[in-house]
Structure 1
């Protein structure tokens, strides 16, 4: 059979596509010559030039490959320039690729060569009169984690500077203080991109242990320094107009492999496939890199004082896009082309460097210099930050409200709280009326309040906008709006990789979230300090004020003022005289406490104090108690350091989450912890979901008796009198029936706390998680009678072993005990001949550990595969799992067991099945294996109203602890009424729908299938799966259908019950820059299988299904996208029935034809769209982008014995809308010779 040879039409269409691809490559070329964006010249007019330069950054990268004569001459010229220009107020930043393949150890034969390669770098240090900072790049990490440590040690020895290589300790992030005007924040971006499973020791000396914590720390560091120019130095840029960003030169297109053999067209295909696929992990489009740059970009867009400086590309670039200012300065070797794409872009593929000058007014001037004829020529300059403010300037605001003692104000305008009866039925009453009620509040003049307060930086949590204030003695306060922020919630909690600040303004979504905020009482946080005093709990002292806009707020007047605010102490240093903090000089965060607990056993948390605070949380129904909502007062007591909790941010106390629909929605797993405040306690695991990890970590030594004892005391002290006294402090205007209801519920919960705590204690003890410190320890685990287990933890010291923990766990309460040794050399002993009932998991951690297990029953040992650990196990049923998987070996207190079950309605529609109504059930089990889970079950079912058919599908996933493989099992069943289309075999079958109706071609098939297998999930978007397959089918015999017609080409045996067995391997790869509405992307799927009839074994066949999708923008603004998809199917012999044949038609390929319109042995379809992004609009519901697209499809099937040369085509157009780039809905009409079809759905499909 000659496929693609029957007519020139096929080749011509393919040629058109290839030519178009080549044309795109040629017309969007990068060059080595300097390029300037459409709105930029070489030099922008400098403003504020009379301001003193307070610091200068010199930025260069890619020194490790500077070998040629010209490169060495340039390096010498750069050294000379530094010796002439630099001073003590300058910083030289080497932006990565400092070594060719990392730094070998001192015993390696390659060590001297690596040191010689660094000689030029050290020469730069001698020339630079200021500070020099090295950061890691791609080539530095080629020597692995140990290579980075070797480089760090070498640079410290040679320079005497412990901060020569940043971040230190091979961590992800570090801040370098420069002066009052600027700060350098260094990110090791290659650390983020690396597969951590390949580096067993990674993060061992770092506070940041997860990538999500890394992003939070980046945001926190930038926020702390919002009054300075922040230079964010990282090897990988977040934007690039060079090769790694998908921009190529004519040379790249003609000679993609280098050398002298031109490969036109092929070169373009190669380059654009590289860009679209992201298969090179060093390209912006690759999975981890794309993940990193989207998050960093989004964080940078939240501030106006951030400049990102990077290397990576071997050229000079400046890109200002969406408020993100990106410098690329990697032009020290192996020059590569780049291009200026839009507006103020600049690029040059010449040897050179960039210089960033910071002035007194915090403006920043960027200059690029190119090397030529032994010296430097200025290529480009621009003022990047033109006095962004810094937060110090005052504004002359004459606000008469400051002259008043009090003011009348409400949290919301009255009209915001006026809702219809139906709305209130669906969404609840909440505390809506309280938000719309004006109250009398004291007016705060910040110049006199608490002796005078000055604003420093803005910030807040996931919902609130806050402003940090400082008094004349240096004490810090926080001014937090009573009205919460929708924009902040959307940005920090939901759309973390997409900038949406203010995008929801004046939308229904904004109004709905504002309304949801009324589920919490706005004023109860002001009365909780009184209750805290009664039980001896530390607390902040929030005060309610009306804060008018005023001169002292300066630039913060834009976002603060003329509202009600909570002003309270910020738990930090300087509060030695504050009784409510314990009169201590040091108050630290939860993250810092956990680091202390890991460091040494002398650090302890007062478990009783924390337990009492948690009992109080449960009494007031505060379901939002994650780690950042605690601060810790530090007490030195003998040779111990004790930390006692200071709770803060109690916004969710007494939450009123009512309403018929809202009550259903909050049953979804992401919202299930949001519990309504009622007299009956909710499920203990859910109301305590956010606090559970910290509870389990800090309260591991407590007993149920401890909980009940403290609860008894708390309840006695929070009597009715204490309750009335506290609530009397609420504004008089809101002392309504809601308050009396809260008090009634509190009293009921108070009486039931003794019955509730054993339920929560049971949850805490079901899976026990114990951890040591980063020092040597011995864990003595003994099997006791009745299956109980005793765990003793000893600190191994030179003077002997010191007992630091001792507890017995009851087999009736505990299923598993996880024991983490953490760092250093630890010893684990398991003894006792009693029958094992509790499973014990021993996780050694870093360094070499010893496991001495006398009773191995139900014992699993985990440790690194490349560590020389000693494992001695006696007895049966024990296991040793040696793996370098990061998630298995590293302790994270937030990694706790959790089961998530979700049942959702599932509605669909297509012209064949009509409306389909069904369900989607998922169950995710996260026990010890949590990357991504321990087990996942997905079950979905549909009923089709057109065909009256039922279908159900199941898929189970069971990850492996040692690698990236998982066991899978799938199943599918359809009822006898389930239908597919069959028009006969061949490429020119007759379309008889108009004559005989739509049912005539429908074939009803009852089927059952089971498919176990193994699946590999790669880190860069690839997956591979191998399955065994079993299928059972029965085609229904219907006399009024085409399937029973004598001319249909179907063997009569298809109406008998058929069983098939087979094998299938499937490879899938996809990467899109924005999955919902991509402008660049690539997808590839291949299935190779073999299927055999189990009753007639001669009926067997092999098959191959291929699908490839390509997307790429074809304009500078990335608004016009060309998307195309190729689908190919073939069966390698003729021993198959019609339902296993290759088919075309339907939404996925020939969109103007019905599904399964043509059936044959082999099929091919190309589907192409041209998609245009017309713009954005606010639809009143969500911020939307919208556009139009036109499409053209062509394809055919090949069937033995048929001599058809016909190609089928369909064409059409449609429109699409995308909500916040998270979901895209499209609707179109496609026409063909059979007629037209409407096509719509979520996502484009390719």
Structure 2
């Protein structure tokens, strides 16, 4: 302990250069004081503030008096070494004659590096720059004292003005006259802050490799927990793997890796205002700082990968002890003194607000920490080593499950020495355990007979593994019957053929090879979700000359799970209103990817006032009158209900076989009955009709984007069969096909499409094959021609003409198209083809994830305007 204290004193000696014994700054190191505005550009009126947030604009636009560095005298004279361009900030590393290193970091940050990628992709540079005002300019000054209070040591930042001085050399243009902080660094690598007892530091990825390869290396999980609790307390939403370095300490004769929290620029960030709050809905890690804590999953999202690796072994008692230490040391006086580190002028503006918010968060922190513990332990991740390991999982009783990792004896195959990992799970808290064996010849033994237990997943790696399940989790067939049936609570994953398996009554085995991670980011900090859930929504906005405006909303619920890509299941509801024919539509879609291996099950239900809005007669040369259309003579009213289930089986990537079963009910009332005079099956389809249909088809899709494809192709074909049951007068079959190809050269995309179909048998008239409208021939009214066979060809040239930078960043383009198509009717000798041509425009953002397109089509008999939230094919 004396040795540690002595080293800390030595490390703090450089600060005596800038502080006298009374704690005042040595004035000889500065050339007077200057009053500067941290960010005059963030001044905004009420409308801008309402839209883009009040943030900390009042602090940015308040002048502060700060000392100006004397470059000739500071630390004996400073030599500029290099310009650091890290992920978060741009800073300068400076060296004094005495061999000390200092890092100068400007207060105003580069917004392109501060804000999340999702936000940068949609907002123009002016708005992005404006959102720097969300951060508190002097936040590191406050954070330093609060971190010190809980024994998380960091360099003390000194607020100063870097003079616009020729001594800065080539850096004078970019850094001269900037307001910022300067802090001490003990070595030349300013990012690896060595305020610790070792010169050995590692990045997060380096540490995770080391811990996997060397079982004797130990991480100080309690110190990391303390740092993460402070992240939450300070509202620091940006704590990804690159925000940490790790140093080895020697504590009580043992060495442990301890965290070095880097850069506290994003503490106390505010994301108020209409636009930032809307962005936070899609990017939950944008957490607004105030008296209330956000959802624990959101505030800890950026650091989730490290949390799952490093915090699961901590017991609830230990967790509560660390929490109590943090709460007890963040006293009122500590908080007040920390906030008073703000410049006096800034304190008068924001000091009271910060003090009240921090005290309130402190008072509610124990409850938040409890939620954090539950969140981390809901799914427990355990990582073995790349050596030979012995894992023992004991299902002790209905309340507890024990996980122990040992070294494995190469000779006997048994366990050696003391365990290097131990976890006692609370079964009410932990629903799932995932044990990653990594490489090596590992052995797993699962024991215990219980009625309730978490699901245990064992993920094997390279090597000859031995997986044994001697456990049983009792259950009942179909959950509610009295018939005993063991639950499947153990799953082995190992694609090696040399793996030795001993399955129990409730063991499942997955021997499929899972793709290896492409890089360290995918391995140690993957973006995708493999647990939990998420909400989202899509707007429904369409327009056509037939339907007028269609507006609605479609909320979506996503459930994620292990190796379920992109999700385990998705539930999607929709409600839309059609203003022109005054009709409504509600829908539900459920997509389930885990019910059958390598398959997707989709359930779809649609209820609408009408399926078709018009019927113009049967045949390829039916007459059309604009006046009759305006008078509603072609109107088709009624009710429509569709319910279906599809099973899609993926043979290879992009190719799937789809089988479906559908039920359709409709009540069709045609305003002009004579339009069915040429229909060969009379008025079959009028009134109420119920049909059951089975379908089988294939889908091949290599498009790079479903909303706006630029490369690839789509081919799908399906054969439907409707038997003579329910209201069907006879059975009939329908074959449909659709092929699309996309070719892009620079800013030009050629989109080609051929589609059509054929019906055999006696069918209701609403089940005819149609051409016309935005689906194929855009110059005609929707479903303009009806027959028992159809074919259309479409070609569209799309050209990007400009990048748009108004409020959001996007691409604007124009398109021209030509189309031709027709229907075929038995015994009709028609050779007529129906041409359509026109032009359109489109706008896309977020790498074409959101697209709005519109077109106007022309034909010899009419024209048609349509808008959609995607390209029209």
- Give the TM bin, normalised by the shorter chain: 0.7 to 0.9
Q: Tell me whether 1:1124 sits opposite 2:752 in the alignment.
A: yes
Deviations 1:318-376 (A, max 9, x none): xxxxxxxxxxxxxxxxxxxxxxxxxxxxxxxxxxxxxxxxxxxxxxxxxxxxxxxxxxx
Deviation at 1:1081, TM superposition (A): 4.8
The residue number in structure 2 matching 1:493 is 117
Residues 404 and 632 of structure 1: is their aligned pair in 2 closer, same or farther, counting only changes over 3 Å?
Answer: same
CA contact (8 A) 2:379 2:431 kept: yes
Candidates 395, 412, 418, aligned match of 1:802 = 418
The 3-state SS of whatever aligns with 1:979 is coil
Residues 989 and 1142 of structure 1: is their aligned pair in 2 closer, same or farther, counting only changes over 3 Å?
Answer: same
Q: Any residues of structure 2 matched to 1:934-945 within 5 Å, and which?
A: 934-945=568-579
Deviation at 1:436, TM superposition (A): 1.7
CA contact (8 A) 2:617 2:676 kept: no
Residues 478 and 886 of structure 1: is their aligned pair in 2 closer, same or farther, counting only changes over 3 Å?
Answer: farther
Residues 810 and 1184 of structure 1: is their aligned pair in 2 closer, same or farther, counting only changes over 3 Å?
Answer: closer
The 3-state SS of whatever aligns with 1:702 is coil
The residue number in structure 2 matching 1:1107 is 739
CA contact (8 A) 1:905 1:920 kept: yes
- Partners of 2:774 and 2:463 lie apart in 1 by 56
Residues 474 and 1111 of structure 1: is their aligned pair in 2 closer, same or farther, counting only changes over 3 Å?
Answer: farther
Candidates 136, 143, 147, aligned match of 1:528 = 143
Deviation at 1:707, TM superposition (A): 2.1
Candidates 49, 52, 62, aligned match of 1:424 = 49
Residues 688 and 1079 of structure 1: is their aligned pair in 2 closer, same or farther, counting only changes over 3 Å?
Answer: closer
The residue number in structure 1 matching 2:722 is 1091
The residue number in structure 1 matching 2:778 is 1151
Residues 1242 and 563 of structure 1: is their aligned pair in 2 closer, same or farther, counting only changes over 3 Å?
Answer: farther
The residue number in structure 1 matching 2:832 is 1206
The residue number in structure 2 matching 1:6 is none
Candidates 459, 467, 483, aligned match of 1:843 = 459
The 3-state SS of whatever aligns with 2:345 is helix
Candidates 615, 636, 651, aligned match of 1:1003 = 636
- Partners of 2:596 and 2:92 lie apart in 1 by 47
Residues 686 and 699 of structure 1: is their aligned pair in 2 closer, same or farther, counting only changes over 3 Å?
Answer: same
Deviation at 1:431, TM superposition (A): 0.9
The residue number in structure 1 matching 2:592 is 958
Candidates 956, 968, 972, aligned match of 2:601 = 968
Deviation at 1:1076, TM superposition (A): 6.9
The residue number in structure 1 matching 2:468 is 852
Deviations 1:1189-1209 (A, max 9, x none): 332222211111111111111
Deviation at 1:446, TM superposition (A): 5.8
The residue number in structure 2 matching 1:543 is 158
Deviation at 1:933, TM superposition (A): 2.3
CA contact (8 A) 2:555 2:573 kept: yes
CA contact (8 A) 2:772 2:780 kept: yes
- Partners of 2:73 and 2:673 lie apart in 1 by 90
Candidates 88, 92, 106, aligned match of 1:481 = 106
Residues 819 and 656 of structure 1: is their aligned pair in 2 closer, same or farther, counting only changes over 3 Å?
Answer: same
Deviations 1:1131-1154 (A, max 9, x none): 2x1333233222111123211111
The residue number in structure 2 matching 1:1014 is 648
Deviation at 1:568, TM superposition (A): 3.7
Deviation at 1:793, TM superposition (A): 1.4
Deviation at 1:644, TM superposition (A): 1.0
CA contact (8 A) 1:444 1:546 kept: yes
CA contact (8 A) 2:377 2:430 kept: yes
Deviations 1:1157-1200 (A, max 9, x none): 111122222222344444x3554334555454332222211111
Deviations 1:379-436 (A, max 9, x none): xxxxxxxxxxxxxxxxxxxxxxx9954433323225x32222x443444322111112
CA contact (8 A) 1:1070 1:1084 kept: no
Q: Any residues of structure 2 matched to 1:493-512 within 5 Å, and which?
A: 493-494=117-118, 509-512=124-127
CA contact (8 A) 2:191 2:262 kept: no
CA contact (8 A) 1:1076 1:1221 kept: no
The 3-state SS of whatever aligns with 1:604 is coil
The residue number in structure 1 matching 2:481 is none
Residues 412 and 1086 of structure 1: is their aligned pair in 2 closer, same or farther, counting only changes over 3 Å?
Answer: farther
Q: Which has the higher strand share?
A: 2
Deviations 1:67-113 (A, max 9, x none): xxxxxxxxxxxxxxxxxxxxxxxxxxxxxxxxxxxxxxxxxxxxxxx
Deviation at 1:602, TM superposition (A): 1.2
The residue number in structure 2 matching 1:823 is 439
Candidates 824, 833, 846, aligned match of 2:449 = 833
The residue number in structure 2 matching 1:648 is 262
CA contact (8 A) 1:469 1:476 kept: yes
Deviation at 1:828, TM superposition (A): 0.8
- Partners of 2:748 and 2:846 lie apart in 1 by 18
Candidates 682, 685, 693, aligned match of 1:1051 = 682
The residue number in structure 1 matching 2:20 is none
The 3-state SS of whatever aligns with 1:736 is helix
Q: Tell me whether 1:1163 sits opposite 2:790 in the alignment.
A: yes
Residues 899 and 1183 of structure 1: is their aligned pair in 2 closer, same or farther, counting only changes over 3 Å?
Answer: closer
The 3-state SS of whatever aligns with 1:1056 is strand
- Partners of 1:732 and 1:713 lie apart in 2 by 30
Deviation at 1:512, TM superposition (A): 2.6
The 3-state SS of whatever aligns with 1:527 is helix
The 3-state SS of whatever aligns with 1:1052 is coil
The residue number in structure 2 matching 1:980 is 613
Stretch of structure 1 that moved more, 597-606 or 630-639: 630-639
Candidates 222, 242, 247, aligned match of 1:628 = 242
- Partners of 1:1034 and 1:961 lie apart in 2 by 31
Q: Tell me whether 1:899 sits opposite 2:533 in the alignment.
A: yes
Deviation at 1:854, TM superposition (A): 1.0
Q: Any residues of structure 2 matched to 1:63-142 within 5 Å, and which?
A: none
Candidates 60, 64, 85, aligned match of 1:439 = 64
- Partners of 1:549 and 1:1143 lie apart in 2 by 73
CA contact (8 A) 1:1169 1:1189 kept: yes
CA contact (8 A) 1:571 1:587 kept: no
- Partners of 1:613 and 1:635 lie apart in 2 by 16
Deviation at 1:1122, TM superposition (A): 4.0
- Partners of 1:1076 and 1:446 lie apart in 2 by 57
The residue number in structure 1 matching 2:496 is 866
- Partners of 1:1065 and 1:1078 lie apart in 2 by 22
The residue number in structure 1 matching 2:343 is 731
- Partners of 1:1122 and 1:790 lie apart in 2 by 60
CA contact (8 A) 2:816 2:840 kept: yes
Deviations 1:478-537 (A, max 9, x none): 4433223234468x82499xxx9xxx9xxx733333333322211121222122222211
TM-score under structure 1 normalisation?
Answer: 0.61
Q: Any residues of structure 2 matched to 1:629-708 within 5 Å, and which?
A: 629-636=243-250, 641-659=255-273, 662-663=276-277, 665-666=279-280, 668=281, 670-708=282-320
- Partners of 2:539 and 2:186 lie apart in 1 by 46
- Partners of 1:460 and 1:891 lie apart in 2 by 22
Candidates 600, 618, 622, aligned match of 2:232 = 618
CA contact (8 A) 1:411 1:482 kept: yes
- Partners of 2:297 and 2:111 lie apart in 1 by 28
Q: Tell me whether 1:1189 sits opposite 2:815 in the alignment.
A: yes
- Partners of 1:902 and 1:1242 lie apart in 2 by 16
Candidates 402, 418, 427, aligned match of 1:811 = 427
Deviations 1:998-1021 (A, max 9, x none): 6332323412221230242854xx
CA contact (8 A) 1:1081 1:1112 kept: no
* Long gaps (5+) in structure 2: 1-28, 474-487
Residues 529 and 1063 of structure 1: is their aligned pair in 2 closer, same or farther, counting only changes over 3 Å?
Answer: same
Residues 1170 and 692 of structure 1: is their aligned pair in 2 closer, same or farther, counting only changes over 3 Å?
Answer: closer
